[in-house]
């Protein structure tokens, strides 16, 4: 399954990966348009960059403040840094292998825009599953999305309460 997902990503297709919170719809960053198309997401809402570890995230975005990232990551947080959100979830092993193989992925929850966050593959809408090149199934997940924290101001600001405890 891991090789199938890596091949699909490298071919420009979206894949479904489990995270530490909900199932994610993922693509290589240069192919993120496919996520908007499949999900029906408003393009004014950015997707996050997701990495298997902080080191890979910093390698992909060298200007990031590593100490600030390490305050929250890895864990159930999405951090807004500049014009992008970044995540380093505690990934299930198969998903971590996929993300490590490609470096980073663009990611959003694997639901239709505004729909419920999927805890199980069976909860992902059929049209999203059908549009993906691979699905990595890790069983049931917690089902609460990540806590979003904006780090662009003088003090961290919680934008969305979620799975991560508030700082």
For residues 88 and 15, what is the distance between their CA atoms, to the nearest angstrom? 17
CA angle 14, 39, 111 (to 5 degrees): 95
For the four alpha carbons of 71, 30, 28 and 45, in that order, the dihedral sign comes to positive
pLDDT at 153: 93
For residues 23 and 141, what is the distance between their CA atoms, to the nearest angstrom? 8
> Please, what is the angle between helix 93-102 and helix 2-10, to 10°?
30
> β-strands 84-87, 48-51: how paired?
parallel
**CATH homologous superfamily for 2-62+90-144?**
DHBP synthase (3.90.870.10)
Please say if the pLDDT value at position 150 is more than 80. Answer: yes
pTM for the model: 0.95
pLDDT digits (tens, 9 = 90+) for 124-136: 999 999 999 999 9
pLDDT digits (tens, 9 = 90+) for 39-97: 999 999 999 999 999 999 999 999 999 999 999 999 999 999 988 999 999 999 999 99
Where do the domains of the chain lie? 2-62+90-144
pLDDT at 65: 92
pLDDT digits (tens, 9 = 90+) for 6-23: 999 999 999 999 999 999
């Amino acid at each position: 399954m891991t090789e199938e997902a890596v091949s699909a990503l490298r071919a420009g297709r979206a894949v479904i990966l489990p995270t530490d919170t909900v199932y994610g719809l993922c693509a290589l960053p240069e192919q993120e348009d496919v996520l908007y198309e499949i999900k029906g997401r408003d393009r004014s809402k950015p997707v996050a960059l997701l990495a298997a570890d902080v080191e890979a995230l910093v390698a992909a975005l060298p200007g990031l403040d590593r100490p600030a990232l390490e305050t929250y990551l890895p864990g159930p947080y999405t951090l807004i840094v500049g014009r992008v959100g970044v995540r380093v979830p505690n990934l299930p092993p198969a998903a971590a292998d996929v993300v490590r193989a490609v470096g980073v992925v663009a990611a959003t929850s694997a639901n239709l825009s505004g729909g419920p966050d999927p805890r199980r593959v069976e909860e992902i809408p059929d049209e999203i599953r059908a549009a993906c090149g691979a699905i990595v199934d890790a069983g049931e997940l917690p089902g609460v999305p990540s806590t979003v924290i904006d780090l662009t101001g003088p003090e961290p600001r919680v934008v969305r309460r979620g799975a991560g405890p508030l700082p």
